[in-house]
Structure 1
Amino acid sequence: MIVRIMGEGQVKLADSHFTELNKLDDELLEEMEGGDEPGFRRTLHALLDKVRELGDPLPDDALEPSELILPAPDATLAEVRAMLSDDGLIPG
């Protein structure tokens, strides 16, 4: 799956990693619903760091369709809330 981190670029991520990423996504959703700004910030960074760690970056000139778009590291709680579906940022 191709994942875009807004403002950074794209990474190719194996589907097998989504169980681990969904745990962080669930935590992020709880923190957002509770208005926990420090927790939200910490978990957003952990989620993005995990995607960077597990994914293989695509070249900057590659224009692959992104199957998943994640917010930039400096996104606000309100910006991320606008991106959410019922499942969070990561479906499943």
Structure 2
Amino acid sequence: MNHRLGDTRRALPLGLGQVVVHGPLRLYYMMRNRVRLYRMAHTPRVWVAQDVPRVVVKLFLFGVLIGPRWRNLRCMLRGLADGIRGCEGEAPADLRG
């Protein structure tokens, strides 16, 4: 199985390092599935507490700094909403197009 971590890497401003860039659809699945993990009894609450700030950072990075910003933000917010609703399986057709 061939697997890559992200589509590419991009340098952050002010020499803050690099970020792995994912496509909008991948961002949808990441957000949806993390919310689903938060709700599982066996997920350590410490991890959830550490991960929530990462969600905020990802929303900022991919919604403001890394394009396609609008599509990234739309997919991430939809992923969070679908995770709260308990959706699973393939992403909605309107995000895949």
Same fold (TM over 0.5): no
Q: Which has the larger radius of gyration?
A: 2
Q: TM-score, normalised by structure 1?
A: 0.40
Q: So what's the TM-score if we normalise by structure 2?
A: 0.38
More helix by share: 2
